[in-house]
Structure 1
């Protein structure tokens, strides 16, 4: 059965899912890349970026599963790029070059209209201006029986959690203290929303939590 899931969404040991001051130089915010050090070492992510080698242990298993079985993605505008306000033009096409790693329809939450953007490898960015429910409805149609991945950033995941729309979250906890940034769970009562920790497993470079909704 199709799931709405968050996968490989790394947080620091003090609960931050992104650093402060996102920019072209720091797309994940200041020190944000440190959260994903576990993933960058895996075979899956090295292959994704045209590199050889990589780890093949527990971390790799989670990395591989994070990209498997997907039929659509949803992301916030900040994850798509650093441009704010009305689109000045359509020159910005994402952080990932001409062939992004998604290869399925991607629904980008924004307040400003923009026509769909087709990229190499089957990725098509659709810009959704009428809210998270509309984006999810469109993603369900696109994904069919495959899963929908909520890719981020932090605020997008928080909105879908508050709406109880996420079935499963894979949260790698990296051994990093950011001190400040965007706190993933601040102000959210996950237990009251029906979520529970179903599994924990120590990988080579992160502790992996699987959080599910329902029994």
Structure 2
């Protein structure tokens, strides 16, 4: 059976996965790009056409983003800023070829026809409980894993429902003070997972939570 995974979800030391306010110009609010600078420095991110990039721990974790993923679930606030549903031309922040390359399901109360993009990404707009949506998305994933792409609220909801098998969180050494927090209401979460931590010379810590059997 396919697994449900979170890959490379970055949070601050105080647990925020994004800052505020979120706008078209600032998808991560006052956090800017600081949560993701570790990834931008990797060889994986820069690709074959750009020289340089780190090849160490950060690069190894970043490369786990795509292999084995058959579909993604994301929240409405990851797809767009507040009010995006009122703009019929809004197709996300990622341009004509988003990085997902799979069926991608946006959890929203606002119905919209699917949007087919370049590179294999098609956005579907769905509503339901985490259990209901995951059942639908697993069919689209064709036996591969389902990625829970964020933001923090969506990941928290799926964790609360016991639906995430593998969670990779990147703790970045910054303090945001406000925004959307990942860990709220998840006291004792670690009891259901094997937890490992790997530090990187970049200053981030990679935390992996793998659900225990039984």
**Same fold, TM-score > 0.5, yes or no:** yes
Structure 1 runs (4+) deviating above 4 angstroms are: none
Aligned pair count reads 212
Residue 148 (structure 1) aligned to one of 141, 146, 149: 146
Q: Partner of 2:209 in structure 1? A: 211
Q: Partner of 2:137 in structure 1? A: 139
Q: Partner of 1:17 in structure 2? A: 17
CA positional deviation for 1:14: 1.5
CA positional deviation for 1:67: 2.1
TM-score (norm 1): 0.92
Query: Structure 1 CA distance, aligned partners of 2:53 and 2:18?
Result: 24
TM-score (norm 2): 0.92
CA contact (8 A) 1:12 1:173 kept: yes
SS in 1 for 2:47: helix
SS in 2 for 1:65: coil
Q: Deviations over 1:140-178 (max 9, x none)?
A: 011122111100001110110110100010011111111
CA positional deviation for 1:94: 0.5
Note closer, same or farther for the CA distance 1:83–1:186 as it changes in structure 2 (3 Å cut).
closer
Q: Partner of 2:7 in structure 1? A: 7
CA positional deviation for 1:3: 1.0
CA positional deviation for 1:204: 2.5
Note closer, same or farther for the CA distance 1:30–1:124 as it changes in structure 2 (3 Å cut).
same
Let me know the Cα RMSD of the aligned residues: 1.8
CA contact (8 A) 1:173 1:209 kept: yes
Residue 197 (structure 2) aligned to one of 189, 195, 200: 200
Q: Partner of 1:66 in structure 2? A: 65
Q: Partner of 2:124 in structure 1? A: 126
Unaligned runs of 5+ in 1: none
Note closer, same or farther for the CA distance 1:52–1:127 as it changes in structure 2 (3 Å cut).
farther
Query: Structure 2 CA distance, aligned partners of 1:157 and 1:113?
Result: 21
CA contact (8 A) 2:130 2:161 kept: no
Q: Partner of 1:39 in structure 2? A: 39
Unaligned runs of 5+ in 2: none
